[in-house]
Amino acid sequence: MLKIWGRANSINVQKVMWVVGELDLDYERIDVGGKYGGMDSPELLARNPHGLIPVIEDNSATVWESHAIVRYLAAQYGDGSLWPSYPAARSTADMWMEWAQTVLQHGFIQLFWNLYRTPVEHHDHALLADLTAKCADNFTQLNRVLGKQPFITGDQLTYGDIPIATQFYRYFTLDIERPSVPNVEAWYERLTKNAAYAEHVMVPYEDLRATIVP
């Protein structure tokens, strides 16, 4: 059985869990990280020398780094669905995964930590305004792409969509100013009716509030 190490309210773990749910895979998930600790446990370090989550074990394969895991699971179990059959389609998915990691999530995580995981009395309002504006720009770019097609890579959900859309739940539920992005909002609305997304991505994050002080 597929084993997954990582807490349910980690965005990077949620990417993996959404794929698992989308492909209806049997799994066991072990809570690690955050309030559960265990990041420096011998058990985790034996599987990921960097001591980070998520980590999976699937028969003889051990994989860490969320995007590597998403690709592995899609290729192993989602051929023709989450894993497109043609290399050109996979390259499109890969490009958007890179953008999600280096631009979209990078900007949003900075906003989330500085806004939500920092006590109000320590907020840097100029920084928050700048980060909010950068996120707005990123979502506006995404909105233009989604005006041409229902998913980021074309007409069906693929592994390239996963890291992008995993950001939506927190972005659309945080108390921040957001631009009008009707195509992204429509996609998010559809996803809220997706059973795997609702179970594994729309996870409460209240216990993450203001736990980090700069």
Q: Return the CATH number at 153.
A: 1.20.1050.10
pTM of the complete model: 0.95
Check whether residue 54 and residue 104 sit in a common domain: no
Check whether residue 117 and residue 51 sit in a common domain: no
Please state, in angstroms and rounded to a whole number, the distance separating the CA atoms of residues 123 and 7. 27
Coil, strand, or helix at residue 161?
coil
Tokens of 135: 């996120």
Check whether residue 113 and residue 189 sit in a common domain: yes
Please state, in angstroms and rounded to a whole number, the distance separating the CA atoms of residues 16 and 13. 5
pLDDT-flagged residues of the chain (< 70): 211-214
CB 188 within 8 Å of CB 16: no
Of 77, 107, 124, the domain-final residue = 77
Q: Per the omega criterion (within 30 degrees of 0), is the bond before 54 cis?
A: yes
In a domain, 115, yes or no: yes
Check whether residue 73 and residue 92 sit in a common domain: no
Check whether residue 113 and residue 148 sit in a common domain: yes
**Number of domains comprising the chain:** 2
In a domain, 169, yes or no: yes
Check whether residue 109 and residue 193 sit in a common domain: yes
Q: How many CB atoms lie within 10 A of CB 175?
A: 6
Separation of CA 87 from chain center: 23
Check whether residue 150 and residue 70 sit in a common domain: no
Residues sharing a CB contact under 8 Å with residue 12, sequence separation 6 or more, in sequence order = 6, 53, 54, 66
Please state, in angstroms and rounded to a whole number, the distance separating the CA atoms of residues 69 and 176. 31
Separation of CA 24 from chain center: 18
In a domain, 132, yes or no: yes
Check whether residue 120 and residue 72 sit in a common domain: no
Range of the domain at 51: 2-77
Tokens of 12: 């990077």
